[in-house]
Every structure is written in structure tokens, then in C-alpha cells.
Amino acid sequence: MTKTLVFSALGLLILAFGFTWLVTFVRYRITPRHFKVTLLGITLRRVRLEDIESITKRRPVGLAENWWSTLKPSHRTLVIRRHRGLIKNIVITPRNRYVFKTSLEKAIQQKDAPAEEVAERVFVVTD
């Protein structure tokens, strides 16, 4: 009985450390049509640029999706507010939030550009 309890606690501890370590691999990408949250190259969340209402550094009141890429998100939070959806706020933590915000706003403004210009632009802001 004691052995099972110890191994269960050890397993839960390893699982908790594994999930904590995995959080550091969350990345944010801006493509010509979408904002994406990826984990090890797998897209976890995708938001169309035309669905983004506003981008701010202020924490929202109420519910929000948290896609943190750090364990200390205090001065790195950026809130993306969507037009539609049940939960309209998405909280992300890019390393340079003002640089990422500027890149995202520029991508939103340029989303209606001709296809030739879109092929030349690449918005990749890594964390």
C-alpha cells in the first residue's frame, strides 16, 4: 500500500514537471491570414486576422484563454480580443510584447493586400 502511494505521488510529480517544461515550448506565429499558437510545431489555436478586434496589454475582466509560454507572465501578457466566440479574450506572453503587438497590427492592416505582396511578407516572431 505504501509503495503504491509513493510511486503514484512520484508519477504525479514527474507529470507536473513535464507539463511545466512543455509550457516553455509554446510559440506564436503570424501568417498572412491567421495568428497561430503552436506547441512543437503543432497548431493548438488559430485565429483569423479579420476576427481580431483589438490588442492590448491590460488583463481582461472575465474569462480568457491563457496560452502562456513562460512561468512568470507578469510583464509579458498581451490580450487579443476577438469579434466572435464564446470566450473572446486570448492571453499570450510573447518575449517582446510591444514588438509582437506591432507585427500583429501590421499584419491586420495588410491582410487585404494583393497576393504578390503577401508572398513577399513573412511575419515570424519567435518567442
Q: Which domains does the chain have, with CATH numbers?
A: 2-119 (2.30.29.30)
Is the entire prediction scored with pTM above 0.85?
A: no
Distance CA 123, CA 126 (A): 10
Query: Is the predicted pLDDT of residue 116 greater than 60, yes or no?
Result: no
Average of pLDDT values for 34-59? 89
Quick one: the chain helix, strand, coil %, rounded to 5?
A: 35, 30, 35
Average of pLDDT values for 10-14? 91
pLDDT band at 71 (very low <50, low <70, confident <90, very high): confident
Residue 60's pLDDT is 81
Residue 7's pLDDT is 87
